[in-house]
Chain A
Amino acid sequence: EDQVTQSPEALRLQEGESSSLNCSYTVSGLRGLFWYRQDPGKGPEFLFTLYSAGEEKEKERLKATLTKKESFLHITAPKPEDSATYLCAVGGDSNYQLIWGAGTKLIIKP
């Protein structure tokens, strides 16, 4: 069964303190792994798509990496405005559905 597990559930960091969020997945035939950001009271907002192991994508202070079993979202020198819930989703080749993780709530304290 396709599955996505994100860890930790919540992460509190000081401004400037770098860290990583984890997304572990099992899927039959990875079609793509997706990272989204969700702010309170809003819908998820697309960040990255990764398609194959070894691929990396960067955007400002965020960098997403992918292996055959997991993806990491590295955040470098975060700022308070990076506080949000980060969601990971995977698409397999059996259908067009995305399987979503429960998210990691990231809090950056000034």
Chain B
Amino acid sequence: DTAVSQTPKYLVTQMGNDKSIKCEQNLGHDTMYWYKQDSKKFLKIMFSYNNKELIINETVPNRFSPKSPDKAHLNLHINSLELGDSAVYFCASSQDQTGRRQYFGAGTRLSVL
């Protein structure tokens, strides 16, 4: 049973399209995250939610909008996709917002053509 699962695993789309990535965790954790990992492997935090409340909102274009319907789910919607959005997006969760140990999903590889 996968602890943190995100779908889809691969996403290939055209510039200007809108797409969503879904994430679910079955660990009972309070906090969830979205990270972007670029080609140089840097992991950059985008958003974090604690019990459905946004607690980290980094400098990310407002084309990216997270939504947490409940504390087990955190989705990411991206409007008007651009070439520079191509990356691997990881969802993660941790027991609380101190983030001492984070559990990651397998990632969604987004390619914008």
Binding site for B on A (CB under 8 A): 31-32, 34, 41-46, 49, 85, 87, 89, 91, 95-98, 100, 102-103
Number of residue pairs across A and B with beta carbons under 8 Å? 54
Given known A-B contacts A97-B45, A98-B45, A102-B40, A43 and B104 have beta carbons under 8 A apart: yes
User: Given the complex of chains A and B, what is the CA–CA distance between A96 and B92 in angstroms?
Assistant: 14
Chain A residue numbers with a CB within 8 Å of B92 are: 43
Q: Which residue of A lies closest to B38 (CB)?
A: A102
Contact of A98 among B40, B99, B105, B107 (CB under 8 A): B99
Interface SS majority for chain B? loop
Given known A-B contacts A43-B90, A96-B48, A96-B56, A32 and B100 have beta carbons under 8 A apart: yes
Q: Kindly list 18 other residue pairs between chains A and B, CB separation below 8 angstroms, not including A34-B100, A91-B100, A103-B41.
A: A32-B100, A34-B101, A42-B106, A43-B4, A43-B105, A44-B43, A44-B90, A44-B102, A87-B43, A91-B99, A95-B56, A96-B98, A97-B45, A97-B48, A97-B56, A97-B99, A98-B102, A100-B44
Among B43, B48, B90, B107: residue with most chain A CB under 10 A: B43
